[in-house]
């Protein structure tokens, strides 16, 4: 267990719209270089019985002074430990995008192994475990790393032109890319709970056929959803994504339209 794993849940978990009386926690895992704030708008879409709980990885924003996780095992073990101690009376639904999809799946495996299984797991914008391949983006220089972020269109381009922003942002991005590009999932590992895989129809990082390979990552029910868009399809398609998640939470539609800053 790392020192991060023993940290208070408040360090790892963000609740943009606190709902102490909720019966379901929707636990969301960010992409490489991303933060819990990526999911903030989702909190306004959820009904009263579902609380958004966004995971904040170390090494970014208010956790900038902490070292980023060096391996998937380290990160997933830490998050699973924190979740086991957080609101144990609630059901949990897990959602992860891109790198976060793999973190969510690995965390769910650990939760199931400890007898605290999630109700449902959603994996987005990430090939299934048997279709994942090592990568080398983390070995590029800063300009090469920034170019990759521009290509994926998940970071405001003007931020990547600011030297001070780059100095703060790129170390966590590089650490996350190292983590996910050196990660080797166990091809024999299986969840027991239902799993839903989502992707954009123009996502070159997670083609539809590769995302469908998540069907072998669970012994529970499997479903898939393809929506218009590229790797960050879920930003413009937020209401449709949240509606599909709410089906697993016992609600049929978003509670309200999101309000973006």
Q: What is the pLDDT of residues 91-140, one digit of tens each?
A: 999 999 999 999 999 999 999 999 999 999 999 999 999 887 776 676 67
User: Is pLDDT of 19 > 80?
Assistant: yes
What domain range includes position 231?
Answer: 4-133+185-248
User: Is pLDDT of 4 > 50?
Assistant: no
Residue 124 covered by a domain = yes
Residue 233 covered by a domain = yes
Residue 212 covered by a domain = yes
- Residue 124 backbone dihedrals phi, psi, to 5 degrees: -130, 140
Q: What SS3 state is found at 225?
A: strand
Residue-level pLDDT at 234: 95
Residue-level pLDDT at 6: 43
Extended beta strands in 19-101, E state: 24-29, 50-55, 91-97
Residue 67 covered by a domain = yes
pLDDT tens-place string over residues 244-259 = 999 887 765 555 444 3
Q: How many domains does the chain have?
A: 1
Q: Strands 50-55 and 24-29, how do they pair?
A: parallel
What distance in Å separates the CA atoms of residue 193 and residue 129, rounded to the nearest whole number? Answer: 16
What distance in Å separates the CA atoms of residue 69 and residue 175, rounded to the nearest whole number? Answer: 8
Residue 122 covered by a domain = yes
Alpha-carbon separation of residue 195 from 62, 99, 157, 243 (angstroms)? 32, 16, 34, 15
Q: Which residues are catalytic?
A: 98
Residue 70 covered by a domain = yes
200 secondary structure, DSSP code: E
Q: What is the CATH number of the domain that holds 224?
A: 3.40.50.1820
Residue 26 covered by a domain = yes
CA gyration radius, the chain: 17
Q: What is the mean pLDDT of residues 28-44?
A: 94
Q: pTM of this prediction?
A: 0.89
What distance in Å separates the CA atoms of residue 88 and residue 74, rounded to the nearest whole number? Answer: 22
Residue 80 covered by a domain = yes
227 beta partners: 200
What distance in Å separates the CA atoms of residue 191 and residue 112, rounded to the nearest whole number? Answer: 8
Percent of the chain topping pLDDT 90: 70
Percent of the chain topping pLDDT 70: 89
Residue-level pLDDT at 3: 41
Q: Which two tokens stand for residue 169?
A: 């942002």
What distance in Å separates the CA atoms of residue 123 and residue 215, rounded to the nearest whole number? Answer: 11
What distance in Å separates the CA atoms of residue 144 and residue 159, rounded to the nearest whole number? Answer: 15
């Amino acid at each position: 267990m790392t020192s991060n794993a023993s940290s208070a849940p408040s360090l790892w978990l963000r609740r943009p719209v606190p709902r102490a009386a909720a019966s379901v926690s929707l636990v969301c895992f960010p992409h490489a270089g991303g933060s819990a704030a990526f999911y903030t708008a989702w909190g306004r879409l959820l009904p009263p019985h579902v609380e958004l709980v966004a995971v904040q990885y170390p090494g970014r924003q208010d956790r900038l002074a902490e070292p980023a996780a060096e391996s998937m095992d380290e990160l997933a073990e830490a998050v699973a430990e924190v979740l086991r101690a957080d609101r144990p009376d609630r059901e949990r639904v897990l959602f992860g995008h891109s790198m976060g999809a793999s973190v969510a799946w690995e965390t769910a495996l650990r939760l199931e192994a400890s007898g605290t299984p999630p109700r449902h797991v959603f994996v987005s914008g990430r090939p299934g475990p048997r279709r994942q391949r090592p990568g080398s983006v983390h070995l590029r220089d800063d300009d090469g790393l920034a170019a990759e972020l521009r290509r994926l269109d998940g970071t405001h381009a003007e931020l990547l032109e600011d030297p001070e922003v780059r100095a703060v942002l790129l170390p966590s991005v590089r650490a996350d890319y190292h983590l996910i590009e050196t990660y080797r999932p166990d091809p024999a590992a299986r969840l027991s709970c239902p799993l839903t895989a989502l992707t954009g129809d123009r996502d070159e990082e997670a083609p539809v056929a590769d995302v469908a390979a998540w069907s072998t990552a669970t012994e529970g029910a499997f479903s898939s959803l393809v929506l218009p868009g590229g790797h960050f399809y879920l930003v413009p398609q937020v209401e449709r994504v949240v509606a599909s998640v709410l089906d697993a939470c016992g609600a049929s539609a978003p509670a309200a339209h999101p309000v973006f800053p």
